A = this chain, B = another copy of it.
Amino acid sequence: MSKHIGNQTIKFDLPPSIIETASIVGPKEGKGPLARYFDTILHDPLWGEKSWEKAESKLVNKSIEKVIEKANITPEDIQYIFAGDLLNQLTASTFGIRNYDIPFFGLFGACSTMAEGMMLGAMTIDGGFADYVIAEASSHFCSSEKQFRFPLELGTQRPLTASWTVTGSGAVIIGKNNNPPYITYITTGKIVDLGIKDPMNMGAAMAPAAADTIVTHFKDTGRTPNDYDLIITGDLGYVGKELALELIKKYNYDIENIFSDCGIEIFDAQTQDTHAGGSGCGCSAVTFCGYLYKEMKNNKWKRILFIPTGALMSPGSTQQGETIPGIAHAVVIENQLG
């Protein structure tokens, strides 16, 4: 029997469990509204390292160490790590993971990477290929600004549509069907590019992909917004969230009352000067591993649709006048089965 339903969705017969999560964030995230949900809050974004890139690798390394420790298992119990980040050639992940003797799949989905890892991790468990896998994603404000925008030292002014890259790493352990919460469905996104060119407005570039994946998820599964307690995108921010809402309404689905965005939840835009909201692979990763997972455990929500979003451009593609392709992947997390 095929587990593939509709066009882009997999329904897991025996849904994998999210066994444990861990999150480490930077000082700014540690002053935001979700502070109490994070396992570790750094006082110094360099974390004793000589570069921001090395600090980001340390975030990767330590969040994986933490989630293994919290799950009360050992690195030998983990068959695969799925991980990615925003740095050129994925060096935050590869340097952060190299001391683990664990087979590694490097992923790039821009800020949708946490979902990409959770999807592949859940497929690996459901397919009978592993007992435990880790999915992890990270970003760092300083390494991202340096690589994608301007040197921090310039103090360049940011437009209000720009997002603030989250400093943080989130790691989950996915295992065989056991205790809740479970990953019950995944809807893998395709690339959607409606021609947005402004890298200072990535929310607008990603909104069509988010809308496409959410609507496809409803069509593939036959579910409606009423079936969810929370639908939360990755890092559309204030601008992209409104656009996605409008696009989804055109398909006659109204998700307004249950719709949020990790980039909006993680900072207080009024007091933290984060403009459009948080972004980066770490944004949806730590919001899931901290806030969403822990409140699922508290039964605040019974069923959520989690949709990390990615803007698939590079500084080079923007310099060559290219538009910004977007992608969004949806993962359903539920506390009750069937």
Chain A positions near chain B (C-beta within 8 angstroms): 1-4, 8, 10, 50-51, 53-54, 79-80, 84, 86-91, 94-95, 97-98, 100-110, 116, 119-120, 123-124, 126-131, 147, 188-193, 312-317, 320, 322, 325, 327
Query: Of B3, B98, B317, which contacts A191 at CB under 8 A?
Result: B98
Contact A128:B3 (CB < 8 A) given known A106-B116, A190-B104, A325-B95:
yes
B105–A116 touching, CB < 8 Å: yes
B3–A88 touching, CB < 8 Å: no
Q: How far is the CA of A108 from the CA of B94 in the complex (A)?
A: 10
Contact A107:B104 (CB < 8 A) given known A54-B320, A88-B316, A316-B91:
no
Q: Chain B residues near A190 (CB, 8 Å)?
A: 100-104
Q: Chain B residues near A90 (CB, 8 Å)?
A: 108, 312
B189–A91 touching, CB < 8 Å: no
CB distance from A122 to the nearest CB of B (A): 10
Q: Chain B residues near A88 (CB, 8 Å)?
A: 88-89, 314-316
* 29 sampled A-B residue pairs with Cβ under 8 A: A2-B128, A4-B129, A10-B129, A51-B320, A53-B316, A54-B320, A88-B314, A88-B315, A88-B316, A89-B314, A91-B314, A91-B317, A95-B317, A97-B191, A98-B193, A98-B312, A98-B325, A100-B191, A103-B188, A103-B189, A103-B190, A105-B107, A105-B109, A106-B116, A106-B312, A123-B123, A123-B124, A124-B127, A126-B127
Q: How far is the CA of A325 from the CA of B108 in the complex (A)?
A: 18
Most buried by B among A2, A98, A147: A98
Contact A325:B120 (CB < 8 A) given known A100-B190, A314-B87:
no
Closest to A76 in B: B7
B108–A109 touching, CB < 8 Å: no
Closest to A126 in B: B127
CB distance from A235 to the nearest CB of B (A): 15
Q: Chain B residues near A101 (CB, 8 Å)?
A: 190
B110–A108 touching, CB < 8 Å: no
Please provide the 9 A-B residue pairs with the shortest distance between their CB atoms, ordered closest to farther: A127-B127, A103-B188, A89-B314, A94-B312, A98-B191, A106-B108, A88-B314, A98-B325, A88-B88
